[in-house]
Structure 1
Amino acid sequence: MSILGTTTAEAAGWQSRLVRLDGRGRLSYRADADGNEIPDFSHAGYRGGGVDLPEVPTVATVRPVEGDNTAHLQAAIDAVGALPLGPDGHRGALLLEAGTYPVAGTLRIPYSGVVLRGVGDGDDPAVSTIIRATGNTPVRRDVLVIGSGASTRWAGEVPGTRTDVTSDLVPVGSRTFSVADSSSYRPGDNVIIVHPCTAEWLAAVDHGATGADAGWTVGSQPITYNRFVTGISGKSITVDVPVYNHLDRSLATSTVHRWDRAGLVTESGVEDLRIMIEFAGDPDADEDHAWVAVRLRGLQDGWVTGCTFLHFAKAGVETNETTRVTVADCRALDPASVITGGMRYNFNSEGYSQQILFSDCYATKARHAFISNGTSSASGLVFLRGTSVGSLAASEGHRRWSQGMLWDNHREVDPATSITLGIYNRGDYGTGHGWATVHSVGWNCDMAGKKLVVQRPPTGQNYAIGCRGVITGDGPFDHPAGHIEGANRAGLNPGSLYQAQLADRLR
């Protein structure tokens, strides 16, 4: 599957003064007086963006059995997981033939190179694969987990590799920085970059500006990046993906270390099936059922494509500790839960989610349809051509300094909320959410006449360019407006920022 589209500049239309496309399809960027610049989002997606999803051969086929199919399907997954890895990193796909598969537990793919594949995501079991999640054991369970499932926070450190970043400032969008000692590093190394949450940094960002709540505390919001080394020159290191926040040495000394990648799963995914979660009673009250249809946790270079998820309480797809993943052509529909905080995040990236691409996905009855709930460890998230129908609250950066989010051609239909996209401060909402996101962009989005709120955080910037609706800095908490350009003006060129950036990078 490819999402690379046409990006040649057209004679008609207009361009942002911050990102411009020339006649050869090359992009140029303009920073503001404080060094804030729209970053490159093109690294989001499978294998870092711009790489077609693989066609993994089917190696085993199963049919539904009577009763609970959890053990039946898990045994088949485990059998594929026991096969040797091929040179392409794949073991093979398990094909679930058409039919209904009642599942009372959780299915797990803790193996690299394993794909769970259906024959279609429709509602007719004669021609589609339907996993019917039954019961509520364990409480609030996931139906399918792809990846290690472990919570590591990328803390596994190769001994002797930690070194300080010595550059005075690594500005947002940069990929190169100097370190005290580069001798432990080689191109291809997987590294973790950490900008500590110090008293100085907290003071610079007004302790999160959390309204009536106490401000963020020292150590609570370290900015963390998962990267690969692409080049070394003396004490200068270049990584594959830019940073999505300034690394300012006057506020904190950042560090780098090689990550041990313990337990990490790669090259696994799910395709072309339907997960329907059973619930009883009122869909706006019942939560005694599975909460997440598909969780990606401890995964790199994976995918979820051509799937439909219904009646989850929290999320259709949720990512944790996951990088370089594509979620494409998926539908997260009709959640069943109380309409309150923590629920109905149809497409959700939690902590340590980076370079995630949600492409051509569709949500209904969401509180937050396309969202990062991952705080300062979540960044580089792209929601491309997402559609939300009947939104009950905003798609948004949700809390505590998530960075580098792009809503590109996001579309609202019949929203039931006044704010449909929030790139802003959430003050004392939740648990001191404060500045929810920074260096984030709404590009060519349609709010169906409702509000897109974009505000400027201290030390950073947010952007709304070429968006339609009520485009404003007037949010639930009073802060300066972010960069607003071309509101309700047709003809923005390029029409898609992600696709233009991807085409530019792959030249």
Structure 2
Amino acid sequence: MSTLEANSAHAIGRWQSRLARVNSRGRLVYQADASGNQIPDFSHAGYRGGGQEPPELPTVATIRPVDGDNTAHLQAALDAVGVRPKDANGHRGALLLEAGTYRVAGTVRLRHSGVVIRGVGDDEDPATNTVIRATGDTPTHRDVLVVGSGANTQWRGEKPNTRTNVTSDLVNVGQREFDVADGSKFRQGDNVILVHPCTAEWLQAVDGGATGIDEPWSVGSQPITYNRFVTDVDGNHVTVDAPVFNHLDRSLAQTTIHTWDRASLVTESGVENLRIHIEFAGDPDVDEAHAWVAVRLRGLEDGWVRGCTFRHFAKAGVETNETTRVTVSDCRALDPASIITGGLRYNFNTEGFSQHILFQDCYATKARHAFISNGTSGASGIVFLRGTSAGSLASSEGHRRWSQGMLFDNHREVAPAVQITLGLYNRGDYGTGHGWATVHSVAWNCDLAGRTLVVQRPPTGQNYAIGCRGIVTGDGPFDHPTGHIEGANRPGLTPGSLYEAQLAARLRG
């Protein structure tokens, strides 16, 4: 934004946050508080770390539905594409599912890198669209489609003799550089894991999670973990590709770094242009004897889900685990079928070790938590961009145990059925000692349809609500200090999208 444009913006009532603003040279600048808290850069969320659209892979095989159960039919076709040679970009090609109804009584696994499962459309008419119809409940509460290795590694596999200590006394939220004890262990391009242990000292600093009447968090229960790539090594000074979303304070815990072996990881795979319809019997607010998750991304890096519709899941339309740098765009997660209670109706859900996930232009209905991080201290860098929740039955939110760096950017509520519709706050003894549910998270330019956004300040950190419309307050279910609130119900916030402004600034260099 030029000086002239800035003056023009001011003249028509536009305004900027004092914490993240575009200066007269067109650069995005940040202001930290006295504790070093600042709005972090969320622009690394999405496919290949943000700024790249997922590719259009060529169709290399085409199938039609068969009579009866199509589980084995789909699996064999996907596996056949999965043994094709990769091209220079790591792509094998797309399996095209022609229009029709594919009845699936089991779980289909897209377990090879560089493979896409693609339909011809996601509307409900099987004459012109691809409809995967999930039947039965065997195994009980199953996933319909799993993309990725499906492994549960928690990124623990490390290359021998690569672990060393981070020796910087303090790495503030938003920083990408730090000193280590032995920089010779790393090279540019290494995939590294940083672990900030959950020590007694750190737990004391965060008041044991402030879990209300529940037991406080225990030592070792909530390690903060980051999956990153080394971009530069200068002696013992290391730079990684994306910032940390929590202060790494050496006086509270000794952070370590090691090179990850990337065991079982699937890359460059996705789901496109299809519908998953889950059958259920009886009352949609009672029946749970059916598939619970339409698409699970687990053990995946640089993947995508786009142009899809998911209906009648019990838990999630899309759920991520051990997944990084993924874009979920233009998807609909509609009409869950389950009792309305904890653990269910998380329409777009990020679980443990989910990082740099972008949900863009997605739509949810009848959710308890439409857009949510349920991944505790291993989940961070989650962006919900222009998400819409219709008929919310509970709030979109950071859900439990110190998930970090969430951005709700232009989130919109339509006809919510509850008062609190967005939460960056403490959940106390809700669930199982949820306590501080998120930290260093931002609600930017959100529309709560006249309902409530709760933003509270955790110990050692901060949360932010900037330019949001509705009742914006620090008064939540549990009494804690109010977070940073700025420009509530004031039109004209610029930039209109924080994620898009951060991405543009980073790509300009």
Q: TM-score, normalised by structure 1?
A: 0.98
Shift of 1:178: 0.2
- Partner SS, residue 284 of structure 2: coil
Give SS of 2:77's match. Answer: helix
Instruction: Give CA-to-partner distance per residue, 1:149-170, whole Å, 9 cap, x none.
Output: 0100000010100000000000
Greater than 4 Å deviation, 4+ residue runs? none
The corresponding residue for 1:234 is: 235
1:184 Cα deviation (Å)?
1.1
Matched letter for residue 385 of structure 2 = L
The CA distance in 2 between the partners of 1:71 and 1:491, in whole Å, is 54
1:105 aligns with 2:106: yes
Q: 2:15 is paired with a residue of what secondary structure?
A: coil
Secondary structure at the aligned position of 1:71 is classed as: helix
Structure 1 letter corresponding to 2:347: N
1:117 aligns to 2:118 (yes or no): yes
Instruction: Quote how far apart the aligned CAs of 1:432 are.
Output: 0.1
Deviation at 1:26, TM superposition (A): 1.2
2:381 equivalent in structure 1 = 380
Partner Cα separation in structure 1 for residue 468 and residue 294 of structure 2: 32
Matched letter for residue 138 of structure 2: T
2:368 and 2:266 mapped to 1: Cα distance? 31
The equivalences for 1:388-407 within 5 A come to 388-407=389-408
Q: Aligned residue for 2:493?
A: 492
C-alpha displacement of 1:197: 0.2
Aligned to 1:135: 136
Partner Cα distance (1:258, 1:185) in 2: 8
1:503, CA displacement in angstroms?
A: 0.2
Q: Whole-Å Cα distance in 1 between the matches of residues 164 and 178 of structure 2?
A: 12
Distance in 2 between residues matched to 1:451 and 1:349, nearest whole Å: 23
Gap regions ≥5 residues in structure 1: 1-7
Tell me which residue corresponds to 1:87.
88
Equivalent in the alignment of 2:272:
271
Stretch deviating more after TM superposition (315-324 or 9-18):
9-18
User: Residue type of the partner of 1:275?
Assistant: I
- Using the alignment, how far apart are the partners of 1:112 and 1:417 within structure 2? 42
CA offset digits 1:182-223 (Å, max 9, x no partner): 111000000000000000000000000000001000000000
Q: Distance in 2 between matches of 1:22 and 1:72?
A: 57
Amino acid at match of 2:57: V
Q: CA RMSD in A?
A: 0.7
Report the alpha carbon displacement of residue 24 of structure 1 after superposing the two structures with TM: 4.0
SS at match of 2:184: coil
Residue 205 of structure 2 corresponds to which residue in structure 1? 204
Partner of 1:452: 453
Matches of 1:494 and 1:82, distance apart in 2? 46
Partners of 1:472 and 1:191 in 2: CA distance = 39
CA distance in 2 between partners of 1:21 and 1:489 (Å):
18
CA distance in 2, matches of 1:22, 1:267: 37
Q: How far does residue 102 in structure 1 lie from its aligned partner after superposition?
A: 0.3
Give 2:85's aligned amino acid: P
1:280, 1:124 → 2: CA distance? 21
User: CA–CA distance in 1 between the matches of 2:186 and 2:251?
Assistant: 25
Tell me how far 1:25 sits from its aligned partner.
2.9
**Equivalent-residue separation in structure 1 for 2:374 and 2:296 (angstroms):** 14
- Give the Cα separation in 1 of the matches to 2:292 and 2:274: 18
Measured against aligned partners, the alpha-carbon deviations of 1:93-131 in whole angstroms (never above 9, x if no partner) come to: 000000100000000011000000000000111110000
- In structure 2, the residue corresponding to 1:183 is in which secondary structure? helix
Alignment of 1:336-347 (within 5 A): 336-347=337-348
Give the C-alpha shift of residue 23 in structure 1.
4.0
Give, as a single letter, the amino acid of the residue that structure 2 aligns with 1:195.
Answer: H
Corresponding residue of 2:178: 177
What is the CA–CA distance in structure 1 between the aligned matches of 2:62 and 2:191, rounded to whole Å?
Answer: 36
Give the Å deviation of 1:53: 1.2
Could you tell me which residue of structure 2 aligns to residue 248 of structure 1?
249
Residue 21 of structure 1 deviates from its aligned partner by: 0.8
The separation in 2 between residues aligned to 1:366 and 1:168, in whole angstroms, is 43
Report what 1:354 is aligned to: 355
Q: How many angstroms apart in 2 are the aligned matches of 1:105 and 1:325?
A: 25
Which region of structure 1 is more displaced relative to structure 2, 217-226 or 10-19?
A: 10-19
What is the SS of the residue equivalent to 2:324?
strand
**Whole-Å separation in 1 of the counterparts to 2:351 and 2:26:** 34
Letter in 2 for 1:371: I
Which residue of structure 2 aligns with residue 55 of structure 1? 56
For 1:476, give the aligned amino acid. P
Q: How far did 1:386 drift?
A: 0.1
Structure 2 counterpart of 1:371: 372
Question: Residues of 2 paired with 1:353 and 1:292: CA distance?
Answer: 16
| Alpha-carbon distance, 1:234 to partner | 1.1
Instruction: State the number of aligned residues.
Output: 500
User: Could you tell me how far 1:52 is from its partner in structure 2?
Assistant: 1.6
Match of 1:5 in 2: none
